[in-house]
A and B are shown apart, each in its own frame.
Chain A
């Protein structure tokens, strides 16, 4: 790894954080809790999702701890079932879905577009309150004893055969869904209506394109989850039989409604992360993203195709052979735009001028791990292969590769990349590189063995397992420990950097993008005067020209 860096900080002896910025604009708790400022809301989200991440992570730790031994000896089966249910619900609905959109998206989209705020600041705040309410409700359910339906709420188990806190949790997820819908709605209107003069669609950063695509999914898909949960709640309380075969209902109806949202949900989770990768790869290659148009259209293509593949979660459940064919074919088609993006990012590196700061390391990690995760998705989209692999640890490995190896790495890349912009301070580069490497190693050790376990046939959601699977499980738990350390480190040094980090200045990465042309941290209104976009996205010549003209940038 080279020691060269693109980092360009102001003279630390004389630099200071700008006195007037969105953090110092007003004081007091209420000014934060009643804010309309998208940047403050983003920070509120950042703190809350980090909190829930660690709770979800704690459950993961408990799961892996139990799976060290083949016997069900750490906790009772009911408790274990609650562990993986709560882990899934918290990680998906309270961490992954809001992660990039609600933190980075909220903070950056208006700035990247040259706007002063999102279209509906109050609805943005409402989104956060809905999120917090959802979190409180889920925590309440946890405290009241938890729920053990699995995050998939499969009927008739969830409607007729469990007496845990299904209703409470369903309400929590329902509310979280509305938080997501309002965020997506806000983004779509903002992107359509609030671009600065000269900011055409094809001059927008690819981060915006990705969040736009994800927002379409949020807005159109989440309501179907909402109605599915309403029906589960009604079935549980009134026992009508809408999902009960003895009363003429069909449990597969729930599956269709649930997966109609939950498949697009995975694209809601990954697309914003892909947007981050575009920004990071461009900046640390000093080059426009290769095939900008292809990457932009691929994002939208993933969103569109993503609506038509849901039944690939149901291949062995008794859907007709012919519908299985259709869904398998569409699944293969939806894999292609992701492949296009990976190659475009890789070729962005060609003839660039590369440096390997922490965001770039995370981006590289993303590329490798998402490739594995995505290609193992093709295994599962292939009908015959899915018969053997579905419902096993192969699936668990697959989705952790794309969600954790992919999305979480992208999230961390973004947090590190924009940390100086959001806080005005730099994080410590040496320690962050270490964390990135530790995370990568820990991740692979945790989840690669699970592919093997899956092919061997170890089912998922198993509390106990046959003896011969133990070695692989122990490896996986060992990896999880390393991974946990890797995730703790950023918590510590990012918090440290708030007080002791170097002053970042406007544009420490010498990046293009409107957000880097304003102070760090930004003013509340972002831009003192409305910018006019007269150049393409990722125009490094324009940047070089501008920096020549301005001389040194001062904090």
Chain B
């Protein structure tokens, strides 16, 4: 990364090292570039562990309330758009695939291919967010955004809306609001992480274009790849838990 922090030594000498040429991005508190790379990778894994704990709280709340209010969760989940969710899943997997190819490209020093992969990763990420925005909009129109405008009408009187579901009792229908709250909280938190990731992708793409990652310095690409894959995996859990609670393929 560009060194903006004041240090005591100018970025001058390269000491002789056994095998590797010292990269210009070598930080002086590391003995070897190897050490720097491993430390960075380890740090990113640890950070992802904290993210698991963070999302874990939401998953725990989901577990609890789905267990208590299964009927409400089931009918509410059926109001989510499975095709859009499935497409989004495919989009994210593609995005992850492109990212993995990008990491490879950096390692084999193919600058052009790296930039292309980063651009594609970003593109797919944006597609995902776009589809998500459409889904959120649909929720808004159906009055399924928790809060003052929330309506349980679709669950207590589904026939009025042409929905082929059994109606559920009003007190159980109230709990669909909990489902949608968790839906927005979990996918929203996920989307927030994606937005941050896309921001970083823009930055990395620009730097890749300048050639920073095709001379052997691959740590930022690798570590970002880890982060991106993690965000991907979170979605892979969210999709079935939120969208597929009660789906019957033969209906």
What would be 7 A-B contacts, judged by CB atoms less than 8 Å apart? A120-B39, A120-B43, A194-B39, A220-B50, A226-B54, A231-B185, A253-B60
A222-B50, A257-B57 known; 13 other A-B pairs, CB under 8 Å? Answer: A34-B5, A36-B7, A116-B28, A117-B29, A189-B39, A219-B46, A223-B50, A223-B57, A228-B57, A231-B185, A240-B178, A242-B182, A257-B61
Residue pair B49, A219 in contact (C-beta under 8 Å): yes
Residues in A neighbouring B51, C-beta threshold 8 A: 223
- The CA of A241 and the CA of B174, in the complex, are separated in Å by 10
Q: Using known A-B contacts A227-B58, A238-B147, determine if residue A36 contacts B39 with beta carbons closer than 8 Å.
A: no
User: Is A368 an interface residue when CB atoms closer than 8 A count as contact?
Assistant: no
Q: Mark B37-70, 1 if CB is under 8 A from A, else 0.
A: 0110011001101110111111011001100110
User: Is A224 an interface residue when CB atoms closer than 8 A count as contact?
Assistant: yes
Of listed B27, B28, B31, B61, residue having the most chain A CB within 10 A: B61
User: Is B71 an interface residue when CB atoms closer than 8 A count as contact?
Assistant: no
Residues in A neighbouring B43, C-beta threshold 8 A: 119-120, 123, 185-186, 189
Residue pair B8, A524 in contact (C-beta under 8 Å): yes
User: Is B144 an interface residue when CB atoms closer than 8 A count as contact?
Assistant: no
Residue pair A530, B8 in contact (C-beta under 8 Å): no
Chain A: which residue is nearest B146 at the CB level?
A: A240
| Stretch of A82-90, A131-139, A243-251, A547-555 on the interface side | A243-251
Q: Mark A252-263, 1 if CB is under 8 A from B, else 0.
A: 010011000000
Residue pair B50, A116 in contact (C-beta under 8 Å): no
Of listed B7, B65, B68, residue having the most chain A CB within 10 A: B7
User: Is A404 an interface residue when CB atoms closer than 8 A count as contact?
Assistant: no
User: Is A31 an interface residue when CB atoms closer than 8 A count as contact?
Assistant: yes
Residue pair B54, A224 in contact (C-beta under 8 Å): yes
Residues in B neighbouring A228, C-beta threshold 8 A: 57
Residue pair A35, B5 in contact (C-beta under 8 Å): yes
User: Is A484 an interface residue when CB atoms closer than 8 A count as contact?
Assistant: no
Q: How would you classify the secondary structure of chain B's contact residues: helix, strand, loop or mixed?
A: helix
- The CA of A123 and the CA of B46, in the complex, are separated in Å by 14
User: Is B111 an interface residue when CB atoms closer than 8 A count as contact?
Assistant: no
Q: How would you classify the secondary structure of chain A's contact residues: helix, strand, loop or mixed?
A: helix
Residue pair A193, B6 in contact (C-beta under 8 Å): no
User: Is A115 an interface residue when CB atoms closer than 8 A count as contact?
Assistant: yes
Residue pair A26, B39 in contact (C-beta under 8 Å): no
Residues in B neighbouring A30, C-beta threshold 8 A: 6
User: Is A536 an interface residue when CB atoms closer than 8 A count as contact?
Assistant: no
Chain B: which residue is nearest A118 at the CB level?
A: B29
Q: Using known A-B contacts A221-B53, A224-B56, A247-B174, determine if residue A239 contacts B39 with beta carbons closer than 8 Å.
A: no
Residue pair B185, A26 in contact (C-beta under 8 Å): no
Residue pair B54, A248 in contact (C-beta under 8 Å): no
Residue pair B8, A193 in contact (C-beta under 8 Å): no
- The CA of A188 and the CA of B54, in the complex, are separated in Å by 19
Residue from A185, A226, A250, A253 within 8 A of B47 (CB atoms): A185
User: Is A4 an interface residue when CB atoms closer than 8 A count as contact?
Assistant: no
Residue pair A36, B38 in contact (C-beta under 8 Å): no
User: Is A8 an interface residue when CB atoms closer than 8 A count as contact?
Assistant: no
Residues in A neighbouring B57, C-beta threshold 8 A: 223-224, 227-228, 231, 257
Residue pair B6, A31 in contact (C-beta under 8 Å): yes
Q: Which of A90-127 contact B (CB under 8 A)?
A: 110, 115-123, 125
- The CA of A217 and the CA of B11, in the complex, are separated in Å by 37
